[in-house]
Amino acid sequence: MTLLVKPAVSQPALGAGLGLRRSEMQSFKALGRSDVDFMEVAPENWIGVGGRFGRQLREYTERFPLLCHGLSLSIGGPEPLDTALIDNIKTFLDTHKVRAYSEHLSYCSDDGHLYDLLPIPFTEEAVHYVAQRVREVQDRLERRIALENVSYYLTAAQQLTEIEFINAVIAEADCDLLLDVNNIYVNSINHGYDPQAFLRALPGERASYIHVAGHYDEAPDLKVDTHGADVIDPVWALLREAYALYGVRPTLLERDFNIPPVPALLVEVNHIKSLQADALAKGAQDLRAMHLEPAL
């Protein structure tokens, strides 16, 4: 039965969205709300940007709901939080009326930015450390944030399982989840676990929105999260199951490299919309069936 759990967090948008990059500013210009329901940007790529690109961004934010997915917060990093960056992010979010801000449950700095997303040790100490930093960020931003379950290829320490670590951080920090179904699939192959069981174990009722993407097959037992290929059927199946378990959530198609022409992107965006419509129809059908069952 389709469960369609009532969201525990507010939904920042509806439907299916695309990531907005500077390289696509012109090609996306003809898109309307009938094509794409919302867009997402990395705030670090736009903070302080003026001139032509600044004006173009404003045109998009006036036409589409905007979500932000950060790259540089380094929530699990050893260095103190970059409060100047956080303040700049807050200004950006307020200026553009951003509906939701998310970051990676990882770190990317140690005496300077490392320009990569590295895994946090799965330990109780790290849970408390990261949760405290998340609370500090939320207080400074004056809004909740969502943390993404990330892809990773090794761990520095593992007292907890990946799912135990994610659940503990989100519960202790009292933040939201950015549910990335491609990362679940990639990690399930690379680390040998059941992706459906992992999805069911996540606090999906806290998911503010969802990411879906493609990846690179390095080997049968090694997948690399690239956002540079089409979404494959097992990942679409995980997205379908996420809707059944936790309800239809706004879903972003991530495509950062090898970006195809807009019509090809819209094929996948429309597939997201189709899965959402199917889930909503199935949920309504199940509810009707429940009300038609004779009372015992």
pLDDT, tens digit only, all 296 positions of the chain: 344 555 566 788 889 999 999 999 999 999 999 999 999 999 999 999 989 999 999 999 999 999 999 998 999 888 899 999 999 999 999 999 999 999 999 877 455 455 457 788 999 999 999 999 999 999 999 999 999 999 988 877 789 999 999 999 999 999 999 999 999 999 999 999 999 999 999 999 999 999 999 998 888 888 888 888 999 999 999 999 999 999 999 999 999 989 999 999 999 999 999 999 999 998 777 767 766 654 44
- pTM here? 0.91
Measured CA to CA in angstroms, residue 216 lies from 130, 186, 226, 230, 258 at distances of 30, 9, 6, 10, 12
The CA distances from residue 270 to 78, 253, 284, 292, in Å, are 41, 10, 21, 33
16-292 — its CATH code? 3.20.20.150
User: What CA–CA distance (Å, rounded) separates 217 from 81?
Assistant: 35
Give the three-class secondary structure for 66: strand
- What b-and-e string marks burial along 187-218, b requiring 16 or more CB atoms within 10 Å of the CB? bbbbeeeebeebbeebbbebbbbbbbbbbeee
How far lies 134's CA from each of 50, 85, 146, 170, in Å?
30, 14, 9, 9
DSSP run (H or E) holding 53: helix 51-63
How far, CA to CA in Å, does 173 sit from each of 4, 15, 118, 213, 296? 25, 28, 20, 27, 43
Q: Cα(23)–Cα(53) distance, rounded to whole angstroms?
A: 11
Half-sphere exposure of 118 (CA within 13 A, CB side): 15
In the chain, the largest separation of any two C-alpha atoms, in whole Å, equals: 68
pLDDT at 2: 45
Q: What is the pLDDT of residue 292?
A: 60
**Domain ranges for the chain:** 16-292
Print the SS3 string covering 114-138: EEEEECCCECHHHHHHHHHHHHHHH
Q: What is the pLDDT of residue 222?
A: 86
Which helix (DSSP H) or strand (DSSP E) does residue 199 occupy? Answer: helix 195-201
Decide: 68 and 100 in contact? Cβ < 8 Å.
yes
Q: Name the residue among 265, 151, 255, 275 with its Cα closest to residue 213.
A: 255
